[in-house]
Chains A and B, each alone.
Chain A
Amino acid sequence: MALSGMRGLSVFISDVRNCQNKEQERLRIDKELGNIRTRFKNEKGLTPYEKKKYVWKMLYIYMLGYDVDFGHMEAISLISAPKYPEKQVGYIVTSCLLNENHDFLRVVINAVRNDIIGRNETFQCLALTMVGNIGGKEFAESLAPDVQRLLISSSCRPLVRKKAALCLLRLYRKNPDVVNIDGWSDCMSQLLDERDLGVLTSVMSLFVALVSNNNEAYRNCLPKCVKILERLARNQDIPQEYTYYGIPSPWLQVKTTKALQYFPTVEDPNTRRALFEVLQRILMGTDVVKNVNKNNASHAVLFEALALVMHLDAEKEMMSQCVALLGKFIAVREPNIRYLGLENMTRMLLITDVQDIIKRHQTQILTSLKDPDISIRRRALDLLYGMCDVTNAKDIVEELLQYLSTADFAMREELALKAAILAEKFAPDLSWYVDVILQLIDKAGDFVSDDIWYRVVQFVTNNEDLQPYAAAKAREYLDKPALHETMVKVSAYILGEYSHLLARRPGCRPKEIFAIINEKLPKVSKPTVAILLSTYAKIMMHTQPPYPELQEQIWAIFRKYESYIDVEIQQRAVEYFVLSRKGAALVDVLAEMPKFPERQSALLKKAEDAEVDTADQSAIKLRSQQQTSNALVVTDQQHVNGSILGNQLGLVKMPSQKMEASTHNQGLTKENGAVSKVDPEPTPSADLLGDLLGPLAMEGPPAAPVSGEKNMISALEATPDAAGALALATVGDQSNSVQPIVNIAERFHALCLQDSGVLYEDPYIQIGIKAEWRAHHGHLVLFLGNKNTSPLLSVRALILPPSHLKMELSLVPETIPPRAQVQCLLEVVNLRASRDVAVLDFLYKFGTAVVSVKLQLPAVLNKFLRPISVSAEEFFPQWNSLSGPPLKLQEVVRGVKPMSLLEMANLFASLHLGVIPGLDTNPNNLVSCTGFYSEGTRAMLCLIRVETDPSDRTQLRITIASGDPTLTFELKEFIKEHLVNIPMSTHAPAPAPAPAPAPAAVPLQPQSPITPAGYTDPGVMLAGLL
């Protein structure tokens, strides 16, 4: 072992190394620090060599994790030393010890600048490197022009220029203004012509930073990047020094490929062709070889190429190659490749149409969930979470549950949360959801946050069908010997509310329920005691007439807790005791919990928050944003007449939060007059807790609805006081008092593309729609949901059908009872093709308010289309036989919403125009085929071809052919309306009584063709429709 040039340093290092324990080490280091401190104090005697030695010692000590709070000035002063060795130490140690905000750095800005603009190359490099590592704002201001000059200077050698590139990157990050984009894109383009690979490597880092900030400005550099990739991939003119195990600089390849991922598309056909050739070569030409290093390097390039192909998402063929490769990778034994395969597959989920292929690998992915390596398990969990949907939720969630009992502690909480979210989002039925959550609590109670059990209680409360089931399940769990406290809480809560629904089952008599819950009482914590007391009160309430024996037992407990140390529990005990002596009045006071307002799942919110500081998980995040909870709340089933259509989850959600607020508010004055105010929350925490525990104790409005109440007030501007004052509102005030709380135009537009959802909603009523379409028949159900505790009166629904539709609405009851939902059937028959739109004229009274709205009904042209898949042999004869107008029409459409071909294909799919991939040889074209159904034409074949221009996405040419001239024309216009920008009015139309001139803001629906832009009045619009 050759000793370092500095003997003292070596001796010190071996001293520290020889220390037997941490304490000795500490002593040795303290001694050295004292020594250095005294030496620095008597500065005069220090030679540059000694200074250098001490500064290295300081760095070594700092590296070992000891604080070095002196000597910084000495380190910095070395920067100004005339000789290279001292200067070098000064620069390196300064950039290790100090951060950019250190005051001392200011002192040396001038010395640094002198080195940068000086003639000595090695000094230039040292200075540029230090500024590149720790330069701050002040450096950016004073040095940027010099650094730029060095970077583009032709007289500078590569070794200086590569440092200048990264130095500039640092300065740019500190102050983006130092790079003037206008002039710099040309410089950048020239820099990318660089032959020296060292300079290119660092220039590429600078380029990635610039382009990630503004890809538009650097579009001219895109072909250069492709050239660089080509040069590397073909191994043209690459010095031996820059090939690594036979691979031309894998790092530069990776960086360049990364840079290309910042451009949304590659438009120039030549560049595009060249790029795809390179990518194809990488995808196909990367073989597994024996040498680990070579293998890693080539796969590094391959994975980056995969990412670029996914990003461009242009070549179907290549995309399927990527999926195939990833499928292979997740099955290999080599852990690194498997890890990256799983990771990239998760990223791939962003691209919707590969989901089905990824699902084929589910078994393999589940295997990785049990891998001995936690890194791989995490990737597998993320992927499973991302790929879960309604079709595979059962399998995946059940696997997760099973895995939960063996999973390591580090993952359990995440696992439990994810299982709960998936169960909620994709539950095929709600009883399964309840099963999953209860199992979750049972298996991993410690890792189940309160949010999870609050959520299941909300679901059970809001869904009457579920209540007996949940109660029975809760009862079953109580028989288990060792029960997690969370399970005690949730079981007690559910049984308190719903055990009376089980009364006839064995072991479920009130007395028995009470006994088994009461067994747990001595062992639980305070918040649980509070819940149990409420449960007892509820059991007592449901036991009418009372069993004296049970009553006595419960009273005894209440009395015992009257003097309990915790105030909340004490208060509950006192109040329940008094209340329970009120006899029949108890039933009113302790009535069943009202339904919870529908809101974003706290779990999803939590998952989103958690993702901010964990891995990027962009795919998952995006998906969780796209897919709002599928588990809607089904309410008031008993009021629903007739059959329930489809699955329950598809039903309209209600009630909304705002109305809930006023319910609480009114309920309070009406029902709870006798109850004194108490603090509803035993433990202050999320608003959910307020919801769950608050109303349980039967007092003031819980935390969450308070804000809702404010909304409510603002929604009812006419009412001077809160909801209680509603009755005082005069008829004159009503006209504009009820505003829809959804955007009607948006809702209509959405319903044109889907078959169920909310059509209209205001504070009192929600109108949902669910439609089934068969050939030229439509079967629609309107759901009229009263959100209030008082009835909606004088309800009137009138259908104003356009001439091409025959529509028949079943009887609409004049009154909608409180909190009830009424279903009305609407039968539609399509007579011929037309873009006219049917209107629902709807009117009701609430209190003194008369609300009248006219709503467009989504019985539009595309609802009578059915996609047809045909082969080329079938397509072309048809296409050719329909020649020229009026059967075949062609038009160039301008002002198209810019969208990728994939987006357009998706849009077409949602319009029921079946896109047939591969029929047109030109990848920029889209061909689709659909059947139109009407009474007049029966099934009529329609063929559509869209030719897009990749260089200008705002225009395209559309050709439509069918056997009926009207149909051809109407369909062409209809598709156009969907392709050009649809003005989405942010205001909803003000529903005024009768056709009084409505002020402004009526959305101009392109779907109502005879509504020219000038019409703003719904009355006029209506007249036109008729």
Chain B
Amino acid sequence: MGIRFILLVNKQGQTRLAQYYEYLTLEERRALEGEIVRKCLARTEQQCSFVEHRNYKIVYRRYASLFFLVGVDNDENELAILEFIHLLVETMDRHFGNVCELDIMFHLEKAHFMLEEMVVNGCIVETSKTNILAPIQLMDRAS
């Protein structure tokens, strides 16, 4: 069970954040991102949030211009991942205040710090927003 990767991609298909929990070569990543972006971005609001791809699934959610795509093993609970995406967005919201694509783009490191706190090795570690944001706040205060 586990998360294989988390991707944030905008409407134009540009990657805004990428975190892989299994090693893929650069070529593999490019191919994979291309394929799943093509698959998911073409879908309508009325379609379900799950797309089967190769031997795993993509659970995705769209927020304004940004798509959150999470690749998971087949036995992972899809709805739990779908809400985990929302938890990530809420956490970002709490930190940035109404988060937008540019926040994530220009604060790449902060987005990474948050993900680090939430997922390790493809497993969910922490779901409390306070705990997730604690290290970042600590650092903000220090600098």
Contacts and interface: CB of A to CB of B under 8 A. Distances in A.
* Pair from one complex: yes
Interface of A: 1, 3-5, 9-10, 13-14, 17, 56, 59-60, 62-67, 84-85, 88-89, 92, 96, 99-100, 122, 125, 129, 132-134, 159, 162-163, 166-167, 169-170, 197-198, 201-202, 205, 208, 239, 241-242, 244, 249-252, 254-255, 258, 293, 296-297, 299-300, 303-304, 335-336, 338-340, 372-373, 375-376, 378, 613-616
Nearest to B20: A96
Given A89-B109, A96-B19, 4 more contacts: A63-B18, A198-B125, A198-B127, A378-B52
Given A159-B131, A299-B79, A336 B50 contact: yes
B12 to A, nearest CB: 11
A132 B134 CA distance: 20
10 contacts: A60-B108, A65-B30, A67-B26, A100-B23, A133-B120, A251-B80, A254-B80, A296-B83, A297-B83, A339-B48
B91 to A, nearest CB: 12
A244 B49 contact: no
Interface string B107-143: 1110011001000110111111111001100110011
Interface residues of B, number: 63
A802 B18 CA distance: 77
B64 interface: no
B87 interface: yes
Given A96-B19, A122-B135, A59 B108 contact: yes
Interface in B19-78: 19-21, 23, 26, 29-30, 33, 43-44, 46-52, 54-55, 57, 74-75, 77-78
Q: Interface centre among B20, B44, B47, B113, by most A CB within 10 Å?
A: B47
Contacts of B82: 296, 300, 336
Q: Which has the most chain A C-beta neighbours within 10 Å: B75, B86, B123, B143?
A: B123
Contacts of A241: 128-131
Contacts of B77: 254, 258, 300, 303-304
A293 B86 contact: yes
A336 B78 contact: yes
A163 B47 contact: no
Contacts of A129: 116, 120
A333 to B, nearest CB: 9
A1 B113 contact: no
A996 to B, nearest CB: 57
A1 B47 contact: no
Contact of B79 (A63, A202, A255, A296): A296
B143 to A, nearest CB: 6
A13 B55 contact: no
A10 B106 contact: yes
B48 A92 contact: no
Nearest to B81: A300
A201 B125 contact: yes
Contact of B124 (A62, A201, A299): A201
B116 A92 contact: yes
A428 to B, nearest CB: 32
A134 B19 CA distance: 12
A340 B105 contact: no
Nearest to B17: A63
A201 B124 CA distance: 7
A982 to B, nearest CB: 35
Interface of B: 1, 14-15, 17-21, 23, 26, 29-30, 33, 43-44, 46-52, 54-55, 57, 74-75, 77-80, 82-84, 86-87, 102-103, 105-109, 112-113, 116, 120-121, 123-131, 134-135, 138-139, 142-143
B34 to A, nearest CB: 9
A60 B54 CA distance: 27
Contact of B47 (A96, A162, A258, A372): A372
B48 A13 contact: no
A615 B83 contact: no
What are the 8 A-B residue pairs with the smallest beta carbon separation, nearest first? Answer: A300-B79, A335-B48, A99-B23, A205-B123, A241-B128, A373-B47, A300-B80, A166-B120
B51 A375 contact: yes
Nearest to B110: A4
Contacts of A335: 46-49
Contacts of B51: 375
A128 to B, nearest CB: 8
Contact of A375 (B47, B79, B107, B138): B47
Contact of A17 (B33, B78, B105): B105
B50 A3 contact: no
A615 B134 CA distance: 39
Contacts of A613: 54-55
B96 to A, nearest CB: 8
B83 A300 contact: yes
Contacts of A9: 108
B79 A303 contact: yes
B79 to A, nearest CB: 4
A976 B125 CA distance: 52
Given A65-B29, A373-B48, A162 B125 contact: yes
A301 to B, nearest CB: 8
A65 B125 contact: no
B105 A13 contact: yes
Given A1-B102, A65-B26, A340 B78 contact: yes
Contacts of A201: 124-127
A336 B79 contact: yes
Given A63-B17, A132-B121, A1 B103 contact: yes
A205 B124 contact: yes
Contacts of A56: 108-109
B1 A208 contact: yes
B138 A122 contact: yes
Given A167-B120, A251-B124, A64 B15 contact: yes
Contacts of B57: 615
Contact of A162 (B48, B103, B126): B126
A170 B121 CA distance: 7
Nearest to A198: B126
A293 B14 CA distance: 27
B78 A614 contact: no
Contacts of B84: 251
Nearest to A166: B120
A258 B72 CA distance: 15
Nearest to B54: A613
Nearest to B108: A60
A166 B128 contact: no
A378 B53 CA distance: 12
A256 to B, nearest CB: 12
A309 to B, nearest CB: 15
B79 A615 contact: no
Contacts of A249: 127
A56 B17 CA distance: 13
B74 A202 contact: no
Which of B21, B80, B112, B127 lies at the interface centre, i.e. has the most chain A CB atoms within 10 A of its CB? B80
B130 A202 contact: no
Contact of A198 (B43, B83, B131, B143): B131
B106 A4 contact: yes
A615 B33 contact: no
A198 B48 contact: no
A223 to B, nearest CB: 22
Contacts of B142: 84-85
B48 A615 contact: no
Contacts of B127: 197-198, 201, 242, 244, 249, 251-252
A299 B131 CA distance: 26
A241 B83 CA distance: 15
Contacts of B135: 122, 125
A587 B18 CA distance: 71
Contact of B143 (A5, A166, A250): A5
Contacts of A63: 15, 17-18, 108
Indicate the member of A13, A375, A614 with the most B CB atoms within 10 Å. A375
B19 A339 contact: no
Nearest to A100: B23
B104 to A, nearest CB: 11
